[in-house]
Chain A
Amino acid sequence: MSSDDLLYRPIGDLGKMLRARRLSPVELAEACLARIDTLDPTYHAFATVTRDLALGQAREAEREIAAGRVRGPLHGIPYAAKDLLATRGIRTTWGAKPYAERVPADDAAVIRKLRSAGAILLGKLAMIELAGGLGYSTPDSSLTGAARNPWNRDRWTCGSSSGAGAAVASAMTPFAIGSETWGSIICPSSFCGVSGLRPTFGRVSRGGAMALSWSLDKIGPMARSASDCETVLRAIEGHDPADPCSADEPPGPPSDPRQARRLGVGVLRLDFTKYGDKSVGRAFDRAVADLEKAGVRPQEAKLPALPFESATVVILTAEAATAFEDLERSGGARTLVNPDAALSFVVARAVRGSDYVKAQRIRTVCRKAAADLFAKYDVLIFPGEMTTAFPADKDFSDVSWPDAPGAMGNLCGLPAISVPCGFGDDGLPVSLTAMSGAFEESKAIALARFFQEITTWHLKRPAIAPAAA
């Protein structure tokens, strides 16, 4: 088996090989580290590689598995984490110059859970500075520069989990942990042709994670398949008193792709006449037709006419400005790549206290409307993004980027999973996103798994470019 064939295997396959001792955790970690050495200079996916830690954890996993002490499906599986998750003794930069040398004393809750599950930390992933919390308008707004898309290195990966998209798509790691406030898991997954899961708000603890927006931030996996995402979710979910927003909900039932034909599936048709790439819309339409042919019965659906985007903008603007106020006081915001970052504090003062409260009251209405919508449908499907990946040198400060389904999902804390569903006319990946009601990840994952049983888009691999000379 070639290194490519091994590293593009899903978590389930790798786990079986590890537990059967047909593959050593050390060999697997070394193969990932070698691939990072070869490819990362081209794709800029990593902020820090934790080679010694990874090999130490891999040796421990090898000993435990050999002794018959198997911790679970992630035992011996390598991963990498977005650089906003604290890692004890390891630089955690938040992608931003003011924090370039910061070394936390403790691990984030997610890192602790994955260590307990026996997963192997390969390193910290590049990200947009402060996850875009003070705004950004160019892909290079990061301590590590613009992450490059493995499908075409002249294209961007999207943000802010930009390194996660590049690392999973190029098989530097079997899975990654990203985060989403508004679009930061779904968009990189879509642009990079990988599967990405945004869990319900509160499903996964944010203890030890950088806060951008307390009422919008979520942490979730990006991986090769919907099934892999579910495996990781099961390892990282759960109530954590250290995160005041952590939900005290039991884990959902395992997803069952056979359930897909019985699900009430609503299709949101987005308007590609005013914005977006029509070939993306066509790829999505073909994916819906594939589901229909396989026995799913999608019905046309519409979002409620509510100000999802505006309420989200107001809440996000106010929360981000206060989350990073230390950078206003210290002047650190002026050292960020985004030249307008320091000005964003002034802009945020246009939001009055009453505006923030009003937006939160509107959110109450939106949340009820979303719950009513998901009483009618089990799952809503729509194109994950309306374009393929942008050029890596694009200035998108004047780009219109409508995203009502994404705003609704994030404002209302709903789970969604993005899976590859074809390619645009430019040969770049296109995605289908499945969104379900709060704490009903299993339904969206079931539909995504079913789609991946009847199609092979998630198995396509980019022609990886050699490292630049």
Chain B
Amino acid sequence: MRFSRRSITRLLAGAPVAAAALLSAAGSLLGPRPASAAGQEPEPQATPTEPEETPLGRFLAKEAPDLTSEEKRRVRKQVAGLEQSLKEVRAYVLANDVPPADAFRALPSGRPRRER
């Protein structure tokens, strides 16, 4: 990659997508935020300790209970960027019959096949 995922994801916070509309479309690890204009989302403020009752707090308690408060602050910053992408992906409407691009294929055994 030419740059860090954090850079990629952080740039999306400023991308001209309907971020405000997307915010309410799916659950957020960062919890609810006040609505604001698209592209002008405030940077989530780091907290010294993450209350366990918040979605991110529960996430950190489950996934990384041993992190220091500084490490949790850095995770929170990165998750904030990633969430912009997740929200856009989750909010995107697809028809039922659109398959994943990376479709599973069965693997033949390699044994000679009999003629029918």
Contact = CB atoms under 8 A, between A and B. Distances in A.
A375 to B, nearest CB: 19
**Interface of B (DSSP majority class):** helix
Interface in A335-392: 338, 340, 343-344, 346-347, 349-351, 355, 357-365, 367
B78 A343 contact: yes
A133 B1 contact: yes
A401 B6 CA distance: 11
Given A212-B1, A350-B83, A307 B17 contact: yes
Contacts of B102: 215, 360, 363
Contacts of A54: none
Contacts of A355: 86, 89-90
A400 B59 CA distance: 27
Interface in B56-113: 59-60, 63-64, 67, 71, 74-75, 78-79, 82-86, 88-90, 92, 94, 98-102
Nearest to A162: B2
Interface residues on B, range: 35 or more
Contacts of B99: 361, 364
A187 B2 CA distance: 7
Given A309-B8, A310-B12, A347 B3 contact: no
B6 A346 contact: no
A263 to B, nearest CB: 27
B13 to A, nearest CB: 8
Contacts of A158: 2
B78 A159 contact: no
B14 interface: yes
Most chain B CB within a 10 A radius of its CB, from A215, A361, A367: A361
Contacts of B94: 358, 361-362, 365
Nearest to B27: A352
Contacts of B8: 182, 309, 312-313, 316, 401
A317 B88 contact: no
Contacts of A364: 98-101
B82 A313 contact: yes
B82 A347 contact: yes
A160 interface: yes
Interface residues of A, number: 57
A217 to B, nearest CB: 10
Given A349-B63, A361-B94, A397-B4, A310 B29 contact: no
Nearest to A399: B7
B101 A346 contact: no
Contacts of A402: 11, 15
A184 interface: yes
Given A128-B1, A186-B2, A274-B14, 15 more contacts: A137-B7, A158-B2, A309-B85, A310-B84, A320-B5, A350-B86, A355-B89, A361-B98, A362-B89, A363-B101, A365-B94, A396-B3, A398-B7, A400-B7, A402-B15
Interface of B: 1-12, 14-15, 17, 29, 59-60, 63-64, 67, 71, 74-75, 78-79, 82-86, 88-90, 92, 94, 98-102
11 contacts: A137-B7, A160-B1, A184-B2, A307-B89, A309-B8, A310-B89, A311-B85, A346-B67, A347-B79, A363-B101, A400-B14
Query: Nearest 4 pairs between A and B by C-beta?
Result: A183-B2, A360-B100, A132-B1, A363-B101
